[in-house]
Chain A
Amino acid sequence: MRKKTLSRIIKAEINLAFHNKYFMISLTVMSAFAVFGAFYMVYAREAGLNLWREYRFDENGNPLQSLFIPATTLFCKWLGGDAGQFTTVAFYFLAFLVCTVPFSWSLLSEKISGYEKQIVIRTGRGNYYFSKYVASFCSGAVVVAAPLMLNFVLSACFVPAFQPQSYSELYYGIPSTYLWADLFLTMPLLYVFLYIALAGIMAGLWATVGVSLSFILRNKVAVMICPYLMLLFLHLFWNSFAGAIFNIYVQMSPIYFIIPRELTFSNNGFIICGWIITILFLDFAVLKRKGFDADVL
């Protein structure tokens, strides 16, 4: 009976999370970056190839040995692979802001309207709060992972998926210390899917931080923006100062470590696991103190 209630309320909350205009707009914005990213990349790549075609023979008529062709493979030209493209930069910069937009505000909205009291009485606090977290996680994850997948599929329609070659490593920007780097040369498709999943999971988890903040703050906009500003402060603190001061050259910022190529520092599996555990712990601590131990009436 209890399990049935939980699954019913989760289903209802997920339905709400995926059928509101905040979700639709967020998904459209991120998908727009993904689609423009694919077309801009195809255009730029074609221009580069045309230039290469003109000069592919030397003065003796021998073909030029070029590193350029393997460097234009799908796996380093899709949105996550080319970290110099504006769409890539904008997508990953906004990912942790946009992930809170679809549904993180919902709990606060229901607290303000009084709906929370009604539903807590009927379904129990545990079921209600847990379903909010699950729905926020799912909507945040989808808003980031689905456009990434869309971009990869779109890019695959135009760019051949050459197997990455070790002699072109310079163009890939993935050092051997980077997480799952060995997969990039052997199973690049798996590497891409793992990073799309990582981006989705981190974005989803960050969306749950917004839900936790709903127990503390009383402003919908603050619930959506504050987690992002906190993350941005941490990001700049680590990338601009702390990394260099402490001589620790590992990427601590989720804004960069979800990107499938190295930016400033190499990422690390333990750091990523540490982040996941920290967010889950924070969510649980806030839920316990402000959700379960507080008087809802």
Chain B
Amino acid sequence: MFFNFVQFDLKNGLLKHWKNYCLFACIFIAFFSIHYLTICAANADLARQGEMQVSFSVADLITEVLCGMKKFEYSDNAVFIFPGVWIFFFLLIMYFTLHYPVQNLDGIGKIMLMLSHSRKIWWLSKCVWCGCSVGTYFLLFYGLAFAFTAVFGGEATLIVSEYVPNMLDAGKYIKAPPWDITVGIILIPLIAYSVSLLQMFLTLYIRPIFSYIIICVVLLSSSYFMSPFLIGNYAMLFRINIFIEDGLIPIYGVFLSVLVIVICFIGGYKRMQKMDIITEE
């Protein structure tokens, strides 16, 4: 029964939306191309000055999107520039995982729930679907980063090039190289999944648009306040201790995201048990 539900969700909530993934692929390629063009322009300058040219790696492409921003310190004259690429990357997948569960519950999901006599399976299946959607999104992103590097002659390594922290403004107190982002590329999808699950859980109580606004505020406040309790911080490579001396410890991010996942899973299950699925809009 459970596998039938999962199969149905994956078919209707994931495979049928292949066009969205094509759009995501175009956006990722646009990000990578801009990084590549910036490197080409820098290399042209370096060649004119007779200096050694720089190359790029898979890690550079990933870091450009997932770096987030350095710690913001408020002062009287400071202005906060939100990390546009990072926040857009997350809001895109949050939007994609926002309306399928609600849409399903408004339509065929009701019939499936009644036929299966199990609300638990419905909710569990949506949790699996959410994980698969986020996983596919990140796989596509990482896969395209590797493919782009292979096509344009970059280095297939997860060590970030030395010019990158400077180029992306990682702040003053950065660690000495090498910067290996392997931990980051495993941690960030987990964080994205927990935030996405939190959003899905909230849609059981409030309208999807307000749940989306709450997630926007969570992500924005994570970029504004560097705090181990704001989950978005662990999804920024420039906030964890890969790059900076006093950065957040990734394992705490794993604990926090597992905690959020467990709370959302149990909370969602409890809510589903009591939810009036017939009259609820």
Contacts and interface: CB of A to CB of B under 8 A. Distances in A.
B221 interface: yes
B178 to A, nearest CB: 26
Contact of B80 (A68, A89, A241, A262): A89
Interface stretch (A78-86, A147-155, A201-209): A78-86
Contacts of A17: none
Interface stretch (B70-78, B187-195, B231-239): B70-78
A85 B277 CA distance: 42
B79 A261 contact: yes
A25 interface: yes
A173 B79 contact: yes
Nearest to B80: A89
B135 to A, nearest CB: 21
Contacts of B79: 83-84, 173, 261-263
A245 B212 CA distance: 33
Contact of B88 (A94, A236, A261, A262): A236
Which of under 10, 10 to 19, 20 to 34, or 35 or more describes the interface residues of A?
35 or more
A239 interface: yes
Contacts of B81: 239, 263-264
A225 B77 contact: no
B154 interface: no
Nearest to A85: B74
A170 B77 contact: yes
Nearest to A228: B91
Interface stretch (B44-52, B92-100, B253-261): B92-100
B34 A241 contact: yes
B88 A225 contact: no
B210 interface: yes
B107 to A, nearest CB: 12
Nearest to A72: B76
Contacts of B98: 221, 225
Contact of B99 (A88, A219, A263): A219
A277 interface: no
Given A25-B210, A90-B217, A221 B99 contact: yes
Looking at B38, B80, B92, the one whose CB has the most chain A CB atoms below 10 A away is B80
Contact of B76 (A89, A93, A171, A262): A171
Contact of B84 (A48, A89, A235): A235
Interface in B209-248: 209-210, 212-213, 216-217, 220-221, 224-225
Nearest to B210: A25
B176 interface: no
A229 B95 contact: yes
Contact of A224 (B77, B78, B82, B209): B209
Contact of A236 (B85, B103, B224): B85
A78 to B, nearest CB: 14
B80 A229 contact: no
23 contacts: A25-B210, A48-B76, A71-B76, A84-B75, A84-B76, A86-B80, A86-B225, A89-B80, A89-B220, A93-B82, A93-B220, A94-B216, A97-B212, A101-B209, A173-B77, A219-B99, A221-B98, A229-B88, A229-B92, A229-B95, A232-B88, A233-B27, A235-B84
